[in-house]
Structure 1
Amino acid sequence: MSDTAVQARYVIETPFDPAKVAEIMAGEQSCGTFTRVAGETDELRDRARATVTAIEALPAGEVPSLPNAWLERRNVRGPWRRALIDISFPIANIGANLATLAATVSGNLYDLGEVTGLRLESLTLPASYRMRFALPRVGISGTRASIGVTAGAMVGTIIKPNVGMSAVQTAALVKTLCEAGVDFIKDDEVCANPEHAPLAERVPAVMAVIRNHAQRTGKKVMMAFNISDDLDAMRRHAELVAQEEGTCVMASLNYCGFSAIESLRKSTPLAIHGHRNGFGAISRHPFLGMAYQPYQTMWRLAGVDHMHVHGLQGKFSQPDSEVVSAASDSLANMSDTVDDRVLPVFSSGQWAGTVPATWQSIQSQDLLFMSGGGILAHPMGPAAGVVSLRQAWAAQRQGVTLDDYARDMPELQSALAFFGGRQS
């Protein structure tokens, strides 16, 4: 692809000729509007206008996917034609500006009167352009080094109950989880700086436990403190985590925003654990919003180190194919000179029984396998829950079924009996 343009692919639905709609999209998101204006010279258009590079027709729809008052006012009816559209946007229009990149490849396109559906499916950047943005400060290799896991899947868990515990109670649970053998612990996305456990109290209490555990065992568990807030507060919270010798902070990406995460990346050396909560609002409809590939592309430019991808056979709505694609996207290099992959984080209803599907689909153990109930609700206790997960991963490496491997492994055997009976 050209080093001077970014390439975006869309799926659209429209009652009009898709080729004409594609040109409207290209004009709207570059130098044009609904009519030619003064100053929009041929020279300017040649230099700055986006270019439609491909159109692929898809089967038409029987009804419009989304309501459209603009079409209703004009009494426009179907057929509702669908197509894949590729558009090339000049980088010179955008610069190394993440907010403007997002506004260019999505922006007002969702509101166009000519469409009854539009979704950003992919975003491809030249490697040289990618290098104008932040890289992950820690990434996969740095996370492994921090927690002392050189190979194999990393095992993590989530503070549960989600909210309600005091700082002292949270620290006590972290102590239990550290002793259980986890590599990684994170706050829930709804627990950031609550009155019953403010970060000013929670961070020192939790890190005292983690430091003590590291002194006794040599293993320093990575804790992702949820610092989601306004930018000034996030910087203060990150500084506190660093002062207490923490190694990771977490942020709710969609609600903090690109600029806040970019600025946070510049101000902290800690790993940034990117939580995608709210992504379903922009991804679940097949003709609205965006797919995970362009979504993670832009967040990686902000400099995150970890990205949530949900989990296989989990509790959320995504089909397993989307989870697999998301993990593959996270593990794909965007640069041809450095390793800029981010760590895919599997979570949501994960336990020992979902490990085989994960391994068979991803064929990589460069991942963080997060299990809440699968650890904390294990009938033999949290330590057995962690052991059951490690046993499940060992079975995959050896090519043995879980049932066969569990014959001499009471922790895995108990997990299969307890959680397996609860799967619908």
Structure 2
Amino acid sequence: MERVFAEYLIETPYEVEQAAAVLAGEQSSGTFVSVPGETEELKKRFAARVEDIQLLDLADEPSIPGGSIPGKKYQKARVKVSWSVENFGYNLPVLISTLQGNLYEITQFTGLKLMDFEVSDSFQNHFKGPKFGIKGSKLSCGVTDRPMIGTIIKPSIGMSVEETATLVKSLIDAGIDFIKDDELMGSAANSFFDDRVKAIMKVIRDNEQKTGKKVMYAFNISDEIDEMQRKYDLIVKEEGSCAMISINSVGLSGTKKICDQGELVIHGHRNGWGMLNRHPLLGIEFPAYQKIQRLAGVDQLHVNGIQNKFWESDDSVVTSIKSCLKPFLGGNEILPVVSSGQWGGQAVETYRRTQTTDLLYMAGGGILAHPMGPKAGVNALQQAWTGAVDGLSVEETALKYPEFAASVKKFSK
């Protein structure tokens, strides 16, 4: 019988084998006591199995509250558990409830994090993954041998429809590939969603007629499911190419419902990610998280960026980018969206560590606050990536390109 495998990082004051058995029981056929219906035949078919345990270091104090025992040490370990596909079929919410359900509340654990999981080959028949992914996103914008260069409308909220459309035109004239609403922008008092879509898409269509290039704009449709569908349909009607969803806010089923429509590239914004990941022994690691989003069908997913403005380390960002590029379900990869305090100066290190240009590289202030204006800001990012791929250092690239040199002077500190 086909099985799904999950790997956890755990911490426990109990015997690790006992704690792992509790996890497997709680997340399948068992409970805290034996019940009459839990026959040996049932357990053989539906009980989760502990497949592997690797002991790590011991700690003197628990990583998170609850479950501590005075005088005990706290053992960390990597634990692999598996379930029969029969337990949940191809029901994505039930699969995630199994992988990430009540196990976080079990008293045997003073730390628990889902690190990664693997599904069986049959999932390819039920989940098609991202429809557009890397290839479709880049093709839509006419980008081939470099990252897509993108930006975010700033200020995040407060600009009128007319002001936003004017800014979009200036960014398009500057040569941008991708623009998005901020996640805080839905339908504000002075920028109703419908009005904003119509005004921006007119600018995009006019430019496409003149130049043949269709800039991708990710309109934030995050809302109740029926209203998301209405907003989605409006973007399609206005000949848009992308919709953005705050995936942690609208939920897995809401995200999948929109992805299943299949007419627009879906830009997945992961705001709230720190709540799921920031503690080293609680939540979920990105390699597992991005697989959930790929099962739902998200095409583009934020991964933070090298030398970012947030808490996440460069090593973590590199792991996230590489995990997006690994084959999964046999379909399109999900496009890593590099953002958070980015400008051209991080391109060299990003390329050195990932060896890929299959990215959406986004800079807000790095473009809009460029001392020579937004057009120079876009040019500077393109120059930075040309230099990175050519093996040039930041200093060597700055000597070659004046726009990039100006950004180094402005942003390098």
What's the TM-score bracket when you normalise by the shorter of the two chains? over 0.9
Q: Name the amino acid aligned to 2:141.
A: I
2:132·2:332 contact (CA, 8 Å) conserved in 1?
A: no
Quote the Cα distance in structure 1 between the aligned partners of 2:291 and 2:34.
33
1:217 corresponds to: 211
Aligned to 1:257, which of 242, 251, 257? 251
Q: What SS does the corresponding residue of 2:304 show, helix, strand or coil?
A: coil
Q: Name the amino acid aligned to 1:104.
A: T
- The equivalences for 1:371-386 within 5 A come to 371-386=363-378
2:58 corresponds to: 60
Give TM-score, length-normalised by structure 2: 0.98
- Encode CA deviations 1:54-89: one digit per residue, 9 max, x unaligned: 001111111011111xx46xx654211111110011
Shift in Å, 1:340? 2.1
Q: What SS does the corresponding residue of 1:309 show, helix, strand or coil?
A: strand
In structure 2, do the counterparts of structure 1 residues 76 and 48 end up closer, same or farther at CA, with 3 Å as the change threshold? farther
Aligned to 2:232, which of 224, 231, 238? 238
Aligned to 1:132, which of 126, 148, 154? 126
Quote the Cα distance in structure 2 between the aligned partners of 1:249 and 1:287.
33
Worse-superposed segment, 25-34 or 139-148? 139-148
Q: What SS does the corresponding residue of 2:263 show, helix, strand or coil?
A: coil
Quote the Cα distance in structure 2 between the aligned partners of 1:130 and 1:361.
31
- The equivalences for 1:89-104 within 5 A come to 89-104=83-98
Quote the Cα distance in structure 2 between the aligned partners of 1:206 and 1:197.
12
Shift in Å, 1:335? 2.5
- Encode CA deviations 1:24-60: one digit per residue, 9 max, x unaligned: 0001001110111011110000000000000011111
- Unpaired runs of 5+ in structure 1? none
In structure 2, do the counterparts of structure 1 residues 192 and 268 end up closer, same or farther at CA, with 3 Å as the change threshold? farther
Shift in Å, 1:398? 1.6
Shift in Å, 1:152? 1.2
Shift in Å, 1:95? 0.9
Quote the Cα distance in structure 1 between the aligned partners of 2:223 and 2:399.
48
Quote the Cα distance in structure 2 between the aligned partners of 1:44 and 1:289.
30
Quote the Cα distance in structure 2 between the aligned partners of 1:131 and 1:386.
41
Aligned to 2:116, which of 114, 119, 122? 122
2:152 corresponds to: 158
Quote the Cα distance in structure 1 between the aligned partners of 2:309 and 2:179.
20
Is 1:394 matched up with 2:386?
yes
Q: Name the amino acid aligned to 1:370.
A: M
- Encode CA deviations 1:259-293: one digit per residue, 9 max, x unaligned: 10111122341010000110110101111111011
- The equivalences for 1:409-420 within 5 A come to 409-420=401-412
Shift in Å, 1:130? 4.0
1:311·1:346 contact (CA, 8 Å) conserved in 2?
A: yes
Quote the Cα distance in structure 2 between the aligned partners of 1:316 and 1:78.
35
- The equivalences for 1:294-313 within 5 A come to 294-313=288-307
Q: What SS does the corresponding residue of 1:190 show, helix, strand or coil?
A: coil
How many residue pairs get aligned? The number is 413
RMSD, matched Cα: 1.2
Give TM-score, length-normalised by structure 1: 0.95
- Unpaired runs of 5+ in structure 2? none
Q: What SS does the corresponding residue of 1:60 show, helix, strand or coil?
A: strand
Aligned to 1:321, which of 315, 320, 327? 315
Quote the Cα distance in structure 1 between the aligned partners of 2:94 and 2:345.
43
Quote the Cα distance in structure 1 between the aligned partners of 2:392 and 2:372.
23
Quote the Cα distance in structure 2 between the aligned partners of 1:283 and 1:77.
29
2:344·2:366 contact (CA, 8 Å) conserved in 1?
A: yes
Worse-superposed segment, 123-132 or 303-312? 123-132
Quote the Cα distance in structure 1 between the aligned partners of 2:63 and 2:116.
20
Q: Percent identity?
A: 45
Quote the Cα distance in structure 2 between the aligned partners of 1:140 and 1:45.
42
1:15·1:77 contact (CA, 8 Å) conserved in 2?
A: no
Shift in Å, 1:167? 1.1
Aligned to 1:370, which of 362, 367, 373? 362
Quote the Cα distance in structure 2 between the aligned partners of 1:261 and 1:167.
27
1:23 corresponds to: 21
Q: Name the amino acid aligned to 1:56.
A: Q
- Encode CA deviations 1:275-323: one digit per residue, 9 max, x unaligned: 0110110101111111011111111100000010001001011000110
Shift in Å, 1:102? 0.6
Aligned to 1:38, which of 30, 36, 39? 36
Q: What SS does the corresponding residue of 1:384 show, helix, strand or coil?
A: helix
